[in-house]
Amino acid sequence: MEEFIGKIWHNWVTKAAGAHYPQAAVKLAEVEKTAGILFRAFGGDPGLKVAAATAETHGARRHWMQRLAGSNERVAQARRDAETLRLPPEIAAFPEASLNRDLYLWLSAQAACDVAPEQPWFRRNQLASREALARYPGLRPRYQRLTEAHIAGRLPPERLQPDEAAQELAIRQALREPATVDSLPLLNSRKSRPPQPVLLWLIGAEESAATQFADPGQQPPAEGSSSAETTKEAHKAEQVETPDNKAPMLAMFRAESLPTWAEYVRVNRAFDEDEDPNARDAARDLNHLSVIRDGQTAKSRVKFDLDLPSAAEDDTPIGPGISLPEWDYRKALMQPAHCLLQPMIASDAGPAPLPPALAATAKKLRGQFAALAPQRRWLKAQPDGPELDVDSCVRNHADRASGHTPDAGGFLAQARCERDLACLLLADLSMSTDAPISDSHRIIDVIQDSLLLFAEALTATGDRFGIYGFSSLRRQNIRFHLLKDFGKRYDAAARGRILAIKPGYYTRMGAAIRQAAAILAEQPASRRLLLIITDGKPNDLDLYDSRYGIEDTRMAVHEARRLGLTPFCVTIDREAGAYLPYLFGPAGFCVIRKPDELPRRLPLLYVQLTRH
């Protein structure tokens, strides 16, 4: 009964407090695709992805009912950084669902029109709003409705202290008439609170909800004031000593201590040249930070990687390795000789027949693809040939009888119709392909079957093709596996190398595409297709597992197109729609929802790509 009454009280007091309307809530998942399309259509950075923002304590004054209900203390506000446009995971600020949805669309439009990133955030939002309304006048009615609805839900200025009221009036003026207020009035009391969050604006990537309105010339509040305490809420830190136990997770286990295991877990990351770009985001999500000084430096530790096989168990390197460039989008600079790609060939792969389970499918594909093989055709009216062209002979005789000189020969000759086409198939062999898709198959098994059937089908057409695989372990260890070279025929030895592939490491896709493009560009063919099979987006242990990897891969695809190649990606990643259009273009990829269909669909996809 006590719990039942408590739920009734909570629901009533939360509803009475206002500022939250769950019945009209709109979730980001419902509008994520629309918001992303709108952001890019309005000129936003196409490399940014749309994701959910985290809620933060804002420290502003609240209605007494909100304080009683304990609501509206934290707010998730939109923000934009170098890699992500973060929007609230849910908007329920207005009683109408249409207004909540319009707020998502307005935030996307305003983020796309950020024309003054160097300005203080208060001024920057006004300029972005004015620019969005100037570019797209059709947004003005929606913006005005959002503005009036948002202002109606804010605390009225007469209920605030004088300095807070001055800030609130300035905010209202800035919302109704963007770019007409240069800066916020200063707070002059230690008891003053920051303004309420403005839901129609974005906060800076490095700002919290409590500091977004800080004036550049304003002195920080004295220690002990409420606003100063609010800015510390996101990251409370303490200096602690290094725990004596060397293995904290193997200490005496008590069930009640399970939620505290995350207090100290020592993780030794391998040394990288650059700092981890995700460290700031990871720290922002924590409520409590413990800082220690262990007296060790990264360079003084002995480093080794247990993932690397011994030389006796590894594939055989071919040559000393190939230095390749890599694109750094942050500096807009191509870094020469930044990566080292090592071509390799399986050392323990003997000749092998086609697996019996694929024999029937391979026979069917060979029969279908034989129709694409070059056929001989007869050429009429030739000056020489093994057969007489009766029609041409009759025409020539009639021309002579009428006093004209015959223009054509009287023989038939045979000509071979060549398919002037070359294809390179590049397969992702990273560790993620070791994931199971059924009780008996993994992703790597499906990729293996696809390569075998693809090779069997193309052998029937006579098209020139090569098959390679790749994986990586940072930029100095990119493994490029030779499975079937252009200069060699597809035989039992090539099948053995395909059957010997093993998943491992990561997916530094840009370097692999550059090397594959260089190989394919050397083929004497009028049409050259670069076909890429993968199960996920580019990643590696360093900065590549971020937008850095996406941008480098995109640049490698552009380089391949400049060489006259046609890159096309086939993926089984269901989330690929979020990044592959940016990498390969809207018509440059195909998502296969059921991985077990890849072996059957890949050869048919090849036919569609090479039909014209």
Contact 239, 291 (CB under 8 A): yes
43 and 68, same domain (yes or no): yes
pLDDT in tens, 131-186: 999 999 999 999 999 999 999 888 888 888 888 888 889 999 999 999 999 888 88
Residue 360 CB neighbours (<10 A)? 9
Helix-strand-coil split of the chain, %, nearest 5: 40, 20, 40
Asked whether residue 259 is assigned to any structural domain, the reply reads: no
On the question of pLDDT at 209 being above 70, the answer is no
How far is 511 from 522, CA to CA, in rounded Å? Answer: 17
Task: Look at residue 353 in the predicted model and tell me its pLDDT.
Answer: 92
**Of 2 and 148, which is predicted with more confidence?**
148
476 and 565, same domain (yes or no): yes
387 and 520, same domain (yes or no): no
pLDDT in tens, 312-351: 567 889 889 999 999 999 899 999 999 999 999 987 788 9
85 and 13, same domain (yes or no): yes
Highest mean pLDDT among 10-24, 82-96, 505-519, 589-603: 505-519
409 and 429, same domain (yes or no): no
On the question of pLDDT at 16 being above 70, the answer is no
Mind spelling out the 3-state secondary structure of 439-503? CCCEHHHHHHHHHHHHHHHHHHHCCEEEEEEEEECCCCCEEEEEEECCCCCCCHHHHHHHHCCCC
How far is 59 from 370, CA to CA, in rounded Å? Answer: 73
386 and 434, same domain (yes or no): no
394 and 440, same domain (yes or no): no
Expressed as residue numbers, the domain containing 383 is 376-416
Give the mean pLDDT of 230-253.
Answer: 48
Per-residue pLDDT band for 205 (boundaries 50, 70, 90) equals low
573 and 523, same domain (yes or no): yes
How far is 188 from 272, CA to CA, in rounded Å? Answer: 47
Contact 501, 448 (CB under 8 A): yes
402 and 497, same domain (yes or no): no
Strands (E), 177-266: 236-239
Run of H or E residues at 316: strand 316-317
Asked whether residue 48 is assigned to any structural domain, the reply reads: yes
On the question of pLDDT at 405 being above 80, the answer is no
How far is 140 from 134, CA to CA, in rounded Å? Answer: 9
384 and 493, same domain (yes or no): no
Asked whether residue 111 is assigned to any structural domain, the reply reads: yes
Contact 238, 293 (CB under 8 A): no
Asked whether residue 311 is assigned to any structural domain, the reply reads: no
State the pairing for strand pair 464-472/478-484: antiparallel
544 and 426, same domain (yes or no): yes
Task: Look at residue 261 in the predicted model and tell me its pLDDT.
Answer: 44
Give the mean pLDDT of 78-88.
Answer: 87
**Of 414 and 79, which is predicted with more confidence?**
79
Mean of the per-residue pLDDT values for the chain?
80
392 and 525, same domain (yes or no): no
How far is 231 from 216, CA to CA, in rounded Å? Answer: 16
Task: Look at residue 225 in the predicted model and tell me its pLDDT.
Answer: 36
Strands (E), 346-463: 376-382, 387-388, 411-416, 421-428
Eight-class DSSP state of 122: H
On the question of pLDDT at 59 being above 60, the answer is yes
Per-residue pLDDT band for 280 (boundaries 50, 70, 90) equals low
How far is 460 from 419, CA to CA, in rounded Å? Answer: 12
Asked whether residue 253 is assigned to any structural domain, the reply reads: no
Q: Tokens at residue 318, please? A: 């071919």
Q: Tokens at residue 479, please? A: 């493994």
Asked whether residue 219 is assigned to any structural domain, the reply reads: yes
Q: Tokens at residue 49, please? A: 């992805």
Number of domains in the chain: 3
Task: Please report, for residues 177, 183, 195, the alpha-carbon distance to residue 186 in angstroms, rounded to integers and kept in the order given.
Answer: 21, 9, 11
Give the mean pLDDT of 185-197.
Answer: 81
